[in-house]
Structure 1
């Protein structure tokens, strides 16, 4: 189950790296504006906020990937701690999005499914 958790954690991290690119680098592009349902004016007005938010996603991805690397290097406690911290934060952020903006539930589910499955798999893997 640990291997499953490591694969899921990697997928969660890669998704959050992609979100980083969308929010921090591509926020005002037509494709990203369409994804987030924003107008050119809205995208320009929220560009600084999105830039900052994108880095939060990147940092969570880095923590998660570091956990995977530590786990693979035989440092299971450090690895699990970093993976739980990174994916747990991703999962909680998705939950906050669902609660605060129910219209964005689909995006929150996409953002939170890999972290949720990672946390479940890692709990089972650590318990065994």
Structure 2
């Protein structure tokens, strides 16, 4: 019985394999298509995720930092790499005053910080310098 089962499985597998469409592809054309697919994989800041604004890469619902590829998150995302993290925005407004550099004003630990949006007073988004 075992040899018959083995022969049957080989025959069935061959039948399925022969029904698959043959794929001819020019490797250069495939690379061109892939580069178009991934050409705009840039983080978009700021973006909304589940109704909340994100001004930088986030770990929300993930073990790793990620960002959205659209302003309103809609399934398109990527893992963040060093170049993706948001940069300081100068000048920025904090407590009604304009800053052209990182500041320690208001810093609990005395470490320099900056806003990642033009108006910290409105957005409250910042990072250490």
Q: What TM-score results when the alignment is normalised by the length of structure 1?
A: 0.22
Higher helix share: 1
Higher Rg: 2
Higher strand share: 2
